[in-house]
Amino acid sequence: METKKAKLAATALIYQQQEGAKIMDSKLLGVSRKDNHKLFGLPGGKVDEGETTYDAMVREVKEETGIDVLSAQPIYFREDGEFLAVVFLVTKWEGEVATTESGVVDWITFEELKQGSFPEYNSKLEEQLNFLKR
Protein backbone atom coordinates (compact mmCIF):
# COMPACT_ATOMS: atom_id res chain seq x y z
CA MET A 1 0.00 0.00 0.00
CA GLU A 2 1.35 3.40 -0.97
CA THR A 3 1.17 6.15 1.62
CA LYS A 4 0.91 9.76 0.58
CA LYS A 5 3.13 12.33 2.19
CA ALA A 6 1.15 15.27 3.58
CA LYS A 7 1.74 18.63 1.97
CA LEU A 8 2.89 21.26 4.42
CA ALA A 9 1.60 24.82 4.74
CA ALA A 10 2.63 27.60 7.10
CA THR A 11 0.84 30.82 8.02
CA ALA A 12 1.57 33.76 10.31
CA LEU A 13 -0.62 35.46 12.87
CA ILE A 14 0.70 39.04 13.04
CA TYR A 15 -1.22 41.46 15.20
CA GLN A 16 -0.98 45.06 16.34
CA GLN A 17 0.07 44.74 19.94
CA GLN A 18 -1.94 46.93 22.28
CA GLU A 19 -1.19 46.90 25.98
CA GLY A 20 -3.66 44.74 27.86
CA ALA A 21 -5.60 43.71 24.73
CA LYS A 22 -6.19 40.11 23.76
CA ILE A 23 -5.10 38.97 20.32
CA MET A 24 -8.75 38.45 19.35
CA ASP A 25 -9.45 42.11 20.15
CA SER A 26 -6.47 43.36 18.12
CA LYS A 27 -6.14 44.04 14.41
CA LEU A 28 -4.53 41.16 12.47
CA LEU A 29 -2.54 41.42 9.28
CA GLY A 30 -4.66 39.81 6.58
CA VAL A 31 -4.11 39.03 2.92
CA SER A 32 -7.06 38.89 0.56
CA ARG A 33 -7.61 36.27 -2.08
CA LYS A 34 -6.31 37.33 -5.46
CA ASP A 35 -9.73 36.80 -7.02
CA ASN A 36 -11.79 38.33 -4.17
CA HIS A 37 -10.42 41.32 -2.27
CA LYS A 38 -13.13 41.03 0.40
CA LEU A 39 -12.13 37.54 1.64
CA PHE A 40 -9.07 37.62 3.91
CA GLY A 41 -6.79 34.97 5.31
CA LEU A 42 -3.51 34.91 7.18
CA PRO A 43 -0.34 35.46 5.17
CA GLY A 44 1.39 32.20 4.32
CA GLY A 45 1.43 29.33 1.90
CA LYS A 46 2.94 26.03 0.88
CA VAL A 47 6.29 24.81 2.16
CA ASP A 48 8.81 24.25 -0.63
CA GLU A 49 10.95 21.10 -0.88
CA GLY A 50 13.84 21.28 1.59
CA GLU A 51 12.33 24.25 3.46
CA THR A 52 11.25 24.24 7.11
CA THR A 53 7.77 25.43 8.04
CA TYR A 54 9.35 28.40 9.84
CA ASP A 55 11.43 29.38 6.80
CA ALA A 56 8.39 29.03 4.53
CA MET A 57 6.32 31.26 6.82
CA VAL A 58 9.06 33.93 6.87
CA ARG A 59 9.40 33.78 3.06
CA GLU A 60 5.64 33.90 2.40
CA VAL A 61 5.10 36.79 4.83
CA LYS A 62 7.85 38.79 3.12
CA GLU A 63 6.48 38.02 -0.36
CA GLU A 64 2.85 38.76 0.52
CA THR A 65 3.19 41.69 2.94
CA GLY A 66 6.69 43.15 2.81
CA ILE A 67 7.09 42.46 6.55
CA ASP A 68 10.26 40.84 7.95
CA VAL A 69 9.52 38.26 10.66
CA LEU A 70 12.17 38.38 13.39
CA SER A 71 10.64 35.98 15.92
CA ALA A 72 7.69 33.57 15.93
CA GLN A 73 6.43 30.48 17.73
CA PRO A 74 4.17 27.70 16.42
CA ILE A 75 0.82 27.84 18.18
CA TYR A 76 -1.57 25.73 16.15
CA PHE A 77 -1.36 22.63 13.96
CA ARG A 78 -4.14 21.20 11.88
CA GLU A 79 -4.51 18.46 9.33
CA ASP A 80 -6.93 19.50 6.63
CA GLY A 81 -7.38 17.11 3.74
CA GLU A 82 -4.01 16.59 2.12
CA PHE A 83 -2.39 19.48 4.03
CA LEU A 84 -0.76 19.70 7.42
CA ALA A 85 -0.83 23.38 8.36
CA VAL A 86 0.96 25.25 11.13
CA VAL A 87 0.18 28.74 12.38
CA PHE A 88 3.02 30.77 13.85
CA LEU A 89 2.36 33.60 16.30
CA VAL A 90 4.73 36.36 15.23
CA THR A 91 6.12 38.04 18.35
CA LYS A 92 8.55 40.42 16.66
CA TRP A 93 8.57 41.91 13.18
CA GLU A 94 9.72 44.99 11.31
CA GLY A 95 9.06 46.80 8.08
CA GLU A 96 6.23 48.52 6.30
CA VAL A 97 3.26 46.76 4.77
CA ALA A 98 3.73 46.66 1.00
CA THR A 99 3.00 44.07 -1.65
CA THR A 100 3.58 43.52 -5.33
CA GLU A 101 1.09 40.64 -5.45
CA SER A 102 -2.48 41.04 -6.69
CA GLY A 103 -4.12 40.54 -3.28
CA VAL A 104 -4.88 43.28 -0.78
CA VAL A 105 -2.96 43.47 2.51
CA ASP A 106 -4.80 45.15 5.37
CA TRP A 107 -5.27 45.14 9.14
CA ILE A 108 -8.48 43.22 9.84
CA THR A 109 -10.49 41.97 12.82
CA PHE A 110 -10.67 38.34 13.89
CA GLU A 111 -14.33 38.37 12.82
CA GLU A 112 -13.31 39.40 9.29
CA LEU A 113 -10.73 36.62 9.30
CA LYS A 114 -13.39 34.07 10.28
CA GLN A 115 -15.58 35.25 7.39
CA GLY A 116 -12.73 34.78 4.91
CA SER A 117 -11.48 31.85 2.87
CA PHE A 118 -11.11 29.33 5.70
CA PRO A 119 -13.85 30.07 8.26
CA GLU A 120 -13.77 26.71 10.07
CA TYR A 121 -9.98 26.67 10.25
CA ASN A 122 -9.84 30.22 11.63
CA SER A 123 -12.63 29.52 14.15
CA LYS A 124 -10.58 26.58 15.44
CA LEU A 125 -7.55 28.87 15.64
CA GLU A 126 -9.60 31.30 17.75
CA GLU A 127 -10.56 28.42 20.10
CA GLN A 128 -6.89 27.50 20.44
CA LEU A 129 -5.92 31.09 21.25
CA ASN A 130 -8.67 31.27 23.90
CA PHE A 131 -7.36 28.01 25.39
CA LEU A 132 -3.76 29.27 25.46
CA LYS A 133 -4.77 32.47 27.28
CA ARG A 134 -6.40 30.65 30.22
Does some domain include residue 34?
A: yes
CA dist list (Å): 115 to 3, 20, 32: 34, 26, 12
Does some domain include residue 42?
A: yes
* pLDDT score for 124: 85
Instruction: Tell me the C-alpha distance between 31 and 40, whole Å.
Output: 5
* pLDDT score for 8: 94
Secondary structure of residue 54 in the 3-state scheme: helix
* pLDDT score for 134: 44
* pLDDT score for 1: 54
Number of domains composing the chain: 1
Contacts of 76 (CB under 8 A, 6+ apart): 86, 87, 124, 125, 128, 129
* pLDDT score for 53: 96
Range of the domain at 62: 7-132
Model pTM score: 0.86
Does some domain include residue 111?
A: yes
Does some domain include residue 23?
A: yes
Does some domain include residue 1?
A: no
The CATH number for 55's domain is 3.90.79.10
Does some domain include residue 2?
A: no
Does some domain include residue 81?
A: yes
pLDDT in tens, the chain (134 residues): 555 667 999 999 998 866 666 666 678 899 998 878 888 999 999 999 999 999 999 999 999 999 999 999 999 998 877 889 999 999 999 999 987 777 889 999 888 999 887 888 888 888 887 766 64
